Amino acid sequence: MGRFSGKVAVITGGAGEIGKAAAKRFVQEGACVLLVDMNADALAAASAEIQSDKVSHLVADVTSAAGNLAMIEVASERFGGVDIFLANAGIEGEIAPITDCDETLFDQVMAVNVKGPFLGIKAAIPAMIARGGGSIVISSSVAGVRGAASVSPYTTSKHAVIGLMRSAAKDAAPHGIRINTVNPGPVETRMMRSLENALAPGQGNRVKSAMQANIPLGRYATPEEIANVMLFLASDEAAIVTGAVYLADGGMTA
């Protein structure tokens, strides 16, 4: 039997590479999964690619309270409740020194990357209490534990969700709800291609090579590898783990 048989997971950023990889792994382990994203076409394609009646999807805005309440309500209506919430939606913003950062863009990054998980956790906890407990995993980053030039809004947001996680973990623990972050280094995703090309237009491969040279394991992670860390944190095998920052960075921060 799968370790998530009878469990229901909600995954935001469900049309992205990591969200989709997580959905596939969770379904393999027996979970029903609701994928959530703003990109309707990519979301429908991701849901169809998994080819399972255990997967459904919903277009919703994680920056709104109504969108977060809707995803919990829809998961409860379609699958009977919520046991696992992956607050995985995120945006990178733009590459620019802080003196050139646009205030509106800063607000957008903070809204998606910080307000989104805050509202999602707030919506998910009552549903998890009704099920007797649950697990919440927030996607942070190595940028949540170290600084980097020219990405101050993104770095700020990824530090912020660690503080959110630690506080919420203490609020939720008496209810049997665990909350942790997973902090990837570079991953083979669209976001990294965007960052590489923004750092050196037309020379993304050179940037990637330089980044890999700073990773002790010598390569980027795959989305599936990050999904496996999420799966562990959501599972009963991590029953004692809450309030933790789980680095999945190939040794970058060692």
N- to C-terminal Cα distance for the chain? Answer: 36
134 bridge partner residues: 177
**Pairwise CA distance, residues 51 & 34, whole Å:** 13
Q: Which residues are catalytic?
A: 154
DSSP bridge partners of 33: 9, 55
CA geometry: angle at 18 spanning 193 and 137, to 5°?
A: 130
What's the distance, CA 249 to chain centroid? 15
| Spatial contact of 116 and 63, defined as CB atoms under 8 Å apart | yes
Q: In what order do the strands lie in the sheet with 32-37?
A: 55-59, 32-37, 8-12, 84-87, 134-139, 177-184, 245-248
CB 22 within 8 A of CB 37: no
* C-alpha distance from residue 171 to each of 26, 179, 244 (Å): 26, 10, 14
